[in-house]
Copies of this chain bind each other. A is one copy, B any other.
Amino acid sequence: MTATSPQGRTELLRPDGSPVRVLVVDDEQSITELLSMALRYEGWQIRTASDGGGAMQTAREFRPDAVVLDMMLPDMDGLSVLGRMRRELPEVPVLFLTAKDAVEDRIAGLTAGGDDYVTKPFSLEEVVARLRGLIRRTGAADRRSESVLAVGDLMLDEDSHEVSRGGDNIHLTATEFELLRFLMRNPRRVLSKAQILDRVWSYDFGGQANVVELYISYLRRKIDAGREPMIHTRRGAGYLIKPAMAATTTS
């Protein structure tokens, strides 16, 4: 089920209308905190655990709809946790967190059951999107919840990663896609460069804030090219996206 919050953001809900529950397992506190904040902001209920033992215990009584699981834990490795998780909560999808260099195929094997993974350092957009996908697909949330975002004649499919405007297909790079997704999930709302950076770029990104400007520029070239622009600059405040023709009565 989906509901629309007052801000116009769409939230996932469980069939009974209660909020989605997610268990986050990672031994680095900074990571669990970062994720907790971001996921709570999605309107989800979060519990955290810092090791395998705690994870199992919490999982048993919290009954999460999804689990975020770091593959390198102190007491037992992610694999054992995963095994036990599977035995006790076979229905619950898992989003793995792995180091970039971790053996990709091994992870790939694990995700066979409809699970998914994200490599560290990740961007919050990525984690949130993947989790939404998992939850949507495993039916913890209403199945009808769509994977397509639309703002005006601009469409973005979160599953296929296809983007089109007015029917024309548009090819975006990974970063462009995430930026656009973030904008489109917050239509008509000014997003500051800092917010965008925090959300779309990896948490360890240390670069210049003007990458945001740069990527906005790329996006404009691709989706606003020639047409009436949908991406707008609010000088000194940030950027926002909104439908084009809008003879805005809503102001």
Chain A residues in the interface with B (C-beta under 8 A)? 5-7, 29-30, 33-34, 36-38, 40-41, 46, 83, 86-87, 90-91, 103-105, 107-115, 117, 124, 137-138, 143-148, 155, 157, 159-164, 167, 169, 173-174, 188-190, 192, 194-195, 197-199, 203, 205-206, 208-209, 234-237, 240, 242, 248-249, 251
Bound Cα distance from A197 to B111, whole angstroms: 9
User: Is A113 a contact of B161 with CB atoms below 8 Å?
Assistant: no
Residues in B whose Cβ lies below 8 Å from that of A117? 194
Residues in B whose Cβ lies below 8 Å from that of A104? 208-209
Residues in B whose Cβ lies below 8 Å from that of A7? 137, 147, 159
User: Is A34 a contact of B143 with CB atoms below 8 Å?
Assistant: no
Closest Cβ–Cβ distance, residue A188 to chain B (whole Å): 5
Residues in B whose Cβ lies below 8 Å from that of A36? 86, 90, 113
User: Is B113 a contact of A38 with CB atoms below 8 Å?
Assistant: yes
Task: List 25 A-B pairs, Cβ < 8 Å.
Answer: A6-B144, A6-B146, A33-B86, A34-B109, A36-B113, A38-B112, A40-B90, A40-B91, A41-B113, A41-B114, A107-B194, A108-B194, A108-B197, A108-B203, A110-B198, A111-B194, A112-B124, A112-B198, A148-B251, A159-B190, A161-B237, A162-B251, A169-B251, A173-B236, A174-B237
